[in-house]
Amino acid sequence: MRTLRMEKDYHTRIRRGHRWAWRGDFDPAALAGVAPGEAVRLESSAGAFLGVGYANPLSHIAVRVVDGEDREPDAALVRRRLAEALAWRERVRPGAAVARLVFGESDGLPGLVADRYGPVLVISQSVAGMERWTDLVAEELSGRLGTDTVILRNTNLLRRLEGLEVETRLLAGRWDGPVTVDHDGVRMVVDCWAGRKTGLFLDHRENRRLLSQLVHEGEFVLDLFSYSGLWAHTLLAAGAGRAVCVDGDAAALELARASAAANGWANRLETVTQNVEDYLAAETRRFDLVVLDPPAFAKKKRFLDDALAVYRRHIALALARLAPGGVLAAASCSSFTTREMLLREAIAAAAEAGRAVQLVAEGCQALDHPVLPAMPETHYLKCMFFRVLGQVNGCSCS
């Protein structure tokens, strides 16, 4: 294996447990001639061994560390990491038909995501070095789980930064259209082939469970940026009377309606295909629970200031639609948006909306999306739960 030596003291980040070495951590000449996905040894500026990983001079992330042993990554390592990942899911998702099985760097398999939807296994890979293991991962996971169908959803646009093609293809079995699976007692119709991500957003599972404990019988729910309505359906199952799903994706809302029919509450779900901000500006009804779970507005650090302004505007509009005593679940899935930033924008939004609020709970990503403490990029999801007390600015609070 080729050896790449980091400059200055950049290696201290790797020593602490971070798994990425940036392109700027190296002399440009050191990366010359490195093939995308090549396995390399990593050393400090003093020549101390740091680990082995996959290099890619095309990417801003020049090396992704895979192992701390001084040997080339092999099939045995991949199998061991998969077994370790599944052991954790068996602890936190025993018998679950739907789960995140592998979560990239956090499970020691950079760029690899694997999700189960009943009989369907969906794999997504965004790192050149891991491409060689796609078939092994599919065979190992499907063999252990007994899934019939394996879909490769390599649609993450980060693949282009790695010099890889974007594609969706069948690795095993057959795909006849959306599958219906049980997710925490809710029947969800999932499109693993053409839906967003791998089919559902699984990272809010514990947050949805928390909010379902706060819903009262018959309450009115508003699910913003709903996609296929997993928040809304979870709350309907917990006793909510009615729910409105708002999303700009008509196909996603068709899945939401199909799930409502599968659960027997089609007459309790309303869907609105519209821009969320436009919808909130026009809506006059009050809701008991509002979920604001937008896409990542800050996918790059340079977009952060603009993204925070959008978060604040959306939170203010959402708070205005809540009845006194109602609850807002406000989330951010951008790793660049810190917990403190989101809270600051929520405080400003409450003031703008003239609402007095309490922060009653906080959540992060689900248990099957583990975090590496030394790698903040793996801790991307923040979710805050606010209770609306009433109005301020001279009005009494309820």
pLDDT tens-place string over residues 6-19: 999 999 999 999 99
- Report DSSP state, residue 163: T
Q: Is the pTM of this model over 0.85?
A: yes
Q: Does residue 258 carry a pLDDT above 80?
A: yes
- Among 104-113, 276-285, 354-363, 386-395, the range scoring the smallest mean pLDDT is 386-395
Task: Return the structure tokens found at 293.
Answer: 């779970």
Q: Give the pLDDT confidence score for residue 397 in this predicted structure.
A: 41
User: Percentage of the chain surpassing pLDDT 90?
Assistant: 92
Q: What are phi and psi of 125, to 5 degrees?
A: -135, 130
Which residues are known catalytic residues?
333
CA 396 to CA 398: how far, in whole Å? 7
What the chain holds in terms of domains, given with CATH numbers, is 2-67 (2.30.130.10), 75-176 (3.30.750.80), 180-391 (3.40.50.150)
Per-residue pLDDT band for 250 (boundaries 50, 70, 90) equals very high
Q: Give the pLDDT confidence score for residue 288 in this predicted structure.
A: 98
Q: How far is CA 387 from CA 171, 276, 291, 321, 355, in A?
A: 47, 21, 12, 13, 10
Task: Return the structure tokens found at 227.
Answer: 């996609």
3-state secondary structure of 29: helix
**Residues 173, 150: contact at Cβ < 8 Å?**
yes
pLDDT, tens only, 49-74: 999 999 999 999 999 999 999 999 99
Return the closest-CA partner of residue 364 out of 154, 204, 157, 191. Answer: 204
Task: Return the structure tokens found at 176.
Answer: 């006849």
Q: Give the pLDDT confidence score for residue 249 in this predicted structure.
A: 97
- Report DSSP state, residue 264: T
CA 285 to CA 133: how far, in whole Å? 52
